Amino acid sequence: MKKILNIPNKTRKPLATGTLRRRYFSAALCAWTVLLCTIPAMAADDPLAIITNLSDFVFSIIKAVGVIILGWGIVQVGMSIQSHDASQRTQGFLCLFGGLMIAFAKEILTTIGAI
């Protein structure tokens, strides 16, 4: 059997006191930041109000996308009229009516009774 000698490693340098102090204060600052920057979350009284607000938010995003598509459809129809291209005109009108359908999706769904 080999005998293992317990020789201390003299090549390793001890950390400078400035480095230890900087690490300690960095850790303390992170801990205080976590403790002081927490915000309590308050629950609403009515859970249906949260769902209604989320639904309104989602439909407003859908309406914004629909208006963007509607604007692009108008640009395509205008360019097709200028260039006398029937296939581009058809594509422009499809984009225009699709944008209208998307922009007024909530109103259409409310009218037919789906919401």
Question: CA 40, CA 43: separation in Å to the nearest integer?
Answer: 10
Give the chain's mean pLDDT: 84
What mean pLDDT is predicted for residues 21-37?
A: 88
pTM of the predicted model over 0.85: no
Question: CA 113, CA 115: separation in Å to the nearest integer?
Answer: 6
pLDDT at residue 1, rounded to an integer: 54
What mean pLDDT is predicted for residues 35-52?
A: 77
Residue 109 scores a pLDDT above 80: yes
69 or 21: which leads in pLDDT:
69
